[in-house]
């Protein structure tokens, strides 16, 4: 028994070597700072702060929807199940590094003609074939599974971050569509009054029939927009219901983009593009790269011989009372080694395949960083010009409203024809819709910055890998 234990201890001591190639994470393949120029805001000199979604999305109604989604969304449930499966797979692989024990017991009864019945009892504890990991093959496979587990957790964090951003965007879209519906309804009401006035002028011989036809066209167009926006509003609720994973309380929805947009706070970008390395999708790509690197070590170790140990402790007796006597005890141990003499180059091909997979994972890691940089740079470019666009659209709306008011008064006074009034009315309608869309772009741009920078402090990375922290109320 002592010899078996000593042999296993020796094997464990020898199993410390690793054939994993040294992994040096490449420098980020992006510039050290964000782009600058006319389209970009001056970068903040402070590092990007870590925030919570409550600090960015300050409307209590939106926060309530997000909290409900974090508890009910099916994508998050799938991500949680994937984490559980990856963790279990890692534990299965890790178990190969520890010797197992199998126990067995039995009894045999026999009787020949003219002889007494014979009863024998056996019991054994055996150690199944256990590989001495002299070249680190099993250890490399264990590291690979551990890094895949961490990558799965990072993917869950990315899913959660995307979900929060999608809910905020859908909530803002609903608010914008509610504003557009109100504009369409007001325009339809004005157009209906214009039709009645034009019909009266036609009957009085003041206006031609073409004025009435044009007024009726404007009314029909506005009524069509009302129907379209009513549909869009219902579809916005359906989208939110899918994201949240539950019914939507109408009290949690905003009735106007003018009310909803100011509740989304600014998130400073910071000059150092290294903050992208904390994005969950980039973290996932890095762990995938580490897993692929560990697979190379396992493939290299597979080129060397495998040595396995087995052991058996047994008890046998013809009498149950003598089963544990010294004479009934026996043990055995053994070792075996195997090495493939010829496999047509499959072993070396396995190393080459794992190296190619590592190279592909490296390229994917670098691309994920470049993609993240592009997404943030695009968001910053939009952020740098949106204030000017909003100012211009507001001025355009004021001018269009004044023009429509004056044109309508001149038409009623018989100074201008109906066509001039119609053009002014359509310009005012277009300006109203344009301002709503610009306000939506301004608010969703902040949502995009929150999502692309990945700066939610509720998503942390521990020494043992990334993990999602439960939201704090």
pLDDT tens-digit map of 33-54: 545 444 434 443 334 456 788 8
Among 125, 132, 134, 99, residue whose Cα is nearest residue 308:
132
- 106/220 same-domain check: no
In this structure, of 53-62, 112-121, 373-382, 419-428, the range with the lowest mean pLDDT score is 112-121
pLDDT of 288:
81
Kindly list the distances between the CA atom of residue 337 and the CA atoms of 4, 13, 129, 329, 334, in Å, as whole numbers in the listed order.
17, 18, 11, 28, 10
11 occurs within a structural domain:
no
- 199/318 same-domain check: no
Long-range interactions of 397-401: CB distance < 8 A, separation 24+: 397/428, 397/431, 397/432, 397/434, 397/435, 399/431, 400/424, 400/427, 400/428, 400/430, 400/431, 400/432, 401/428, 401/431
Query: CA 45 to CA 262: how far, in whole Å?
Result: 25
Question: Is residue 205 classed exposed, middle or buried when 0-12, 13-18 and 19+ CB atoms within 10 A define those classes?
Answer: exposed
- 293/311 same-domain check: no
Residue 103 CB neighbour total at 10 angstroms: 9
Query: CA 363 to CA 262: how far, in whole Å?
Result: 40
pLDDT of 201:
74
9 occurs within a structural domain:
no
pLDDT of 342:
52
Question: Is residue 7 classed exposed, middle or buried when 0-12, 13-18 and 19+ CB atoms within 10 A define those classes?
Answer: middle
- 161/52 same-domain check: yes
- 362/462 same-domain check: yes
191 occurs within a structural domain:
yes
pLDDT in tens, 262-285: 999 887 555 456 667 777 888 878
- 263/332 same-domain check: no
Domain CATH for 161: 1.20.1600.10
- 300/311 same-domain check: no
- 271/312 same-domain check: no
End-to-end CA distance of the chain, in Å? 58
pLDDT of 158:
82
Residues 293-305 have a mean pLDDT of 64
- 313/407 same-domain check: no
Q: Is beta strand 102-110 parallel, antiparallel or unpaired with respect to 329-338?
A: unpaired
- 158/205 same-domain check: yes
Q: Which residues contact 310 (CB under 8 A, 6 or more apart)?
A: 126, 127, 128, 129, 130, 333, 334, 335, 336
- 298/404 same-domain check: yes
Residue 194 is encoded by which pair of tokens? 């214009």
pLDDT in tens, 166-206: 999 999 999 999 999 999 999 999 888 888 888 887 787 77
pLDDT at 468 over 60: no
Question: E strand or H helix at 125, and its extent?
Answer: strand 118-132
Share above pLDDT 90 across residues of the chain, in percent, rounded to a whole number = 23
Q: What are phi and psi of 38, to 5 degrees?
A: -60, -30
Residue 378 CB neighbour total at 10 angstroms: 15
Average pLDDT, the chain: 74
Sheet with 329-338, strands from edge to edge, namely 102-110, 118-132, 306-317, 329-338
pLDDT at 372 over 90: no
The CA-based angle 262-264-266, given to 5 degrees, is 105
Q: Is beta strand 118-132 parallel, antiparallel or unpaired with respect to 102-110?
A: antiparallel
473 occurs within a structural domain:
no
Question: E strand or H helix at 63, and its extent?
Answer: helix 60-72
Share above pLDDT 70 across residues of the chain, in percent, rounded to a whole number = 63
Number of independent structural domains in the chain: 2
344 occurs within a structural domain:
no
7 occurs within a structural domain:
no
5 occurs within a structural domain:
no
Q: Is beta strand 459-462 parallel, antiparallel or unpaired with respect to 329-338?
A: unpaired
Structural domain boundaries, residue 323: 101-132+306-338
- 67/109 same-domain check: no
128 occurs within a structural domain:
yes
**What's the alpha-carbon Rg for the chain, to the nearest Å?**
36
pLDDT of 402:
92
Domain CATH for 316: 2.20.200.10
pLDDT-derived band at 64, boundaries 50, 70, 90 = very high
């Amino acid at each position: 028994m002592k010899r078996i234990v000593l042999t296993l201890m020796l094997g464990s001591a020898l199993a410390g070597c690793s054939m994993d190639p040294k992994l040096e994470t490449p420098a980020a393949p992006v510039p050290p700072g964000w782009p600058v120029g006319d389209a970009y805001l001056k970068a903040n000199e402070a590092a990007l702060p870590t925030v919570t979604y409550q600090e960015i999305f300050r409307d209590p109604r939106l926060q309530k929807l997000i909290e409900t989604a974090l508890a009910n969304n099916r994508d998050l449930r799938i991500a949680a199940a994937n984490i559980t499966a990856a963790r279990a797979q890692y534990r299965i692989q890790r178990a190969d590094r520890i010797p197992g024990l199998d126990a067995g017991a039995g009894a045999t009864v026999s009787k020949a003609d003219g002889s007494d019945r014979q009863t024998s009892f056996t019991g054994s504890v055996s150690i199944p074939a256990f590989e001495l990991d002299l070249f680190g093959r099993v250890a490399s496979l264990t590291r690979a599974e551990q890094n895949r587990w961490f990558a799965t957790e990072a993917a869950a964090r990315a899913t959660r971050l995307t979900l929060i951003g999608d809910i905020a965007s859908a909530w803002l879209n609903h608010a914008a569509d509610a504003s557009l519906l109100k504009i369409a309804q007001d325009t339809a009401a004005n157009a209906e009054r214009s039709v009645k006035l034009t019909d009266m002028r036609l009957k009085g011989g003041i206006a031609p029939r073409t004025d009435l036809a044009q007024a009726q066209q404007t009314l029909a167009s506005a009524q069509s927009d009302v129907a379209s926006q009513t549909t869009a509003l219902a579809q916005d609720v359906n989208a939110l219901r899918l994201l949240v994973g539950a019914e939507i309380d109408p009290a949690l929805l905003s009735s106007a983009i003018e009310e909803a947009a100011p509740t989304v706070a600014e998130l400073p970008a910071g000059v150092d593009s290294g903050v992208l390395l904390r994005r969950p999708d980039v973290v996932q790509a890095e762990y995938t790269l580490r897993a692929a690197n560990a697979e190379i070590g396992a493939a290299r170790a597979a080129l060397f011989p495998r040595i396995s140990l087995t052991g058996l402790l047994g008890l046998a007796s013809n009498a149950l009372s003598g089963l544990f006597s010294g004479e009934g005890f026996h043990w055995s141990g053994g070792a075996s080694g195997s090495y493939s003499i010829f496999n047509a180059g499959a072993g070396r091909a396995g190393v080459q395949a794992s190296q190619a997979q590592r190279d592909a994972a490296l390229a994917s890691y670098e691309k994920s960083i470049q993609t993240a940089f592009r997404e943030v740079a695009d968001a910053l470019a939009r952020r740098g010009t949106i204030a000017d666009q909003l100012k211009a659209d507001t001025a355009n709306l004021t001018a269009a409203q004044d023009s429509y008011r004056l044109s309508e008064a001149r038409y009623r006074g018989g100074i201008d024809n109906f066509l001039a009034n119609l053009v002014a009315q359509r310009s005012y309608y277009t300006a109203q819709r344009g301002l709503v869309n610009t306000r939506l772009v301004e608010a969703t741009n902040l949502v995009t910055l929150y999502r692309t920078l990945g700066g939610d402090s509720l998503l942390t990375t521990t020494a043992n890998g990334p993990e999602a922290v439960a939201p704090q109320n």
